[in-house]
């Protein structure tokens, strides 16, 4: 399946389905309205679920007279696509620019900073995949 672009509310709906596995439109509506974010009408959720199904992002099965929906997209893939889009559109592809912006503008806990340092150290130790890949191609 190609990359599917999700709007903010569509993403929230898919998140509910990832969290619950399966849910009716009413259960999705209730979960969204319990989240503390902006309230959403049941008819809006039904419309968005139809749109998501047309995009191939969700599927449904009939259980009696109720449609039960499930996510067809993998969470990691959606996050990767959204992050790549943000990185390219807003930061011109600069990972350092994105990370620097987040560190300057967002609250980051000591534990998160320690985890970031661990990941950076691990990446340095393993070598940069992009650079390593280019070096191998150049030697051939």
The whole-chain average pLDDT of the chain stands at 88
Mean pLDDT across 47-59: 96
Confidence grade of residue 37 (pLDDT, cut at 50, 70, 90) = confident
CA distances from 68 to 10, 26, 59, 103, 108 (A): 16, 10, 8, 41, 38
Confidence (pLDDT) at 96: 92
Helix (H) or strand (E) holding 60: strand 58-63
- Percentage of the chain beyond pLDDT 70 is 88
Residues 75-89 have pLDDT tens digits of: 999 989 889 999 999
Domain ranges of the chain: 8-71, 75-126
Instruction: Determine the longest span between alpha carbons in the chain, in angstroms.
Output: 63
Confidence grade of residue 13 (pLDDT, cut at 50, 70, 90) = very high
Residues 118-137 have pLDDT tens digits of: 999 999 986 555 544 444 44
Provide the whole-model pTM: 0.72
CATH of 8-71, one of 1.10.10.10, 3.40.50.620, 1.20.210.10, 2.40.50.70: 1.10.10.10
């Amino acid at each position: 399946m190609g990359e599917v672009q999700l709007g903010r509310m569509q993403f929230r709906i898919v998140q509910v389905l990832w969290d619950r596995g399966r849910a009716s439109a009413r259960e999705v509506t209730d979960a969204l309205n319990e989240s503390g974010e902006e309230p959403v009408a049941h008819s809006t959720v039904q419309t968005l679920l139809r749109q998501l199904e047309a995009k191939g992002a969700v599927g449904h099965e009939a259980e009696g007279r109720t449609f039960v929906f499930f996510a067809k997209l993998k969470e990691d893939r959606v996050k990767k696509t959204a992050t790549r889009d943000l990185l390219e559109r807003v930061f011109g592809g600069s990972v350092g620019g994105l990370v620097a912006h987040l560190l300057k503008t967002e609250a980051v806990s000591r534990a998160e900073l320690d985890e970031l340092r661990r990941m950076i150290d691990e990446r340095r130790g393993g070598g940069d995949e992009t650079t390593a890949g280019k070096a191998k191609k150049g030697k051939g």
